[in-house]
Amino acid sequence: GDSVTQMEGPVTLSEEAFLTINCTYTATGYPSLFWYVQYPGEGLQLLLKATKADDKGSNKGFEATYRKETTSFHLEKGSVQVSDSAVYFCALSEGPASKLTFGTGTRLQVTL
Amino acid sequence: NAGVTQTPKFQVLKTGQSMTLQCAQDMNHEYMSWYRQDPGMGLRLIHYSVGAGITDQGEVPNGYNVSRSTTEDFPLRLLSAAPSQTSVYFCASSRGTGGVRSGYTFGSGTRLTVV
């Protein structure tokens, strides 16, 4: 079945550092790929998405490119801020019911 | 404000008790789902619905029931609570198949503790 593998956290960075959170997936077809973010005490919010190979999703300075050849969707940001501290989930959606399959989440802590 | 509303936000149950977690959305979304979030395990799908009157099981359905009598509401019922059901529960909704490509909208969650 479908699965998503994320790098384990927590990831601790200083403000203005470069961020990469790795995500790889296994799927039988051509899934849509997502990054969701969860701030402390809140639900999940869609951060960005990509629906086909080579698409680049971007939002709030975050980017991720759908790489079918490596089955990856790594999240990047050039300069993180303290306000980016959260848990980040990679997810895919496939099939007629388009259910979401999530990775285990990566906690990001940004310090001054 | 439009969105997904979950109630209650917090609940403590005794083992064997039953309860219903409420979920309502006002966006006329076809798809609705229930997930549970446990440390180190991400979110796992409990049940989902692709429209009123249609429900199906997800990855971890045991111990839970759902129904979808209206487009707006998708309650999750715990039949006989067990400590293993201590978790944070999220309801999510999306427009149909094409809309899922735009991502799901999540509620703020219900934190359930079973003692």
Please name the amino acid found at residue B59. E
Q: Which helix (H) or strand (E) holds B99?
A: helix B97-100
Q: Do B106 and A98 touch (CB under 8 A)?
A: no
Q: Residue B6: how many CB atoms within 10 A of its CB? A: 23
Q: Which helix (H) or strand (E) holds B87?
A: strand B87-94
pLDDT at A80 over 60: yes
CA–CA separation, B115 and B103 (whole Å)? 35
pLDDT band at A30 (very low <50, low <70, confident <90, very high): confident
**Nearest Cβ partner of A104 from B40, B56, B104?**
B40
- Cβ atoms of A35 and A64 within 8 Å: the answer is yes
**Nearest Cβ partner of A89 from B42, B56, B100?**
B42
State whether residue A89 sits within 8 Å of chain B by CB.
Answer: yes
Predicted local confidence at residue B95, as pLDDT? 84
pLDDT averaged over every residue in chain B: 92
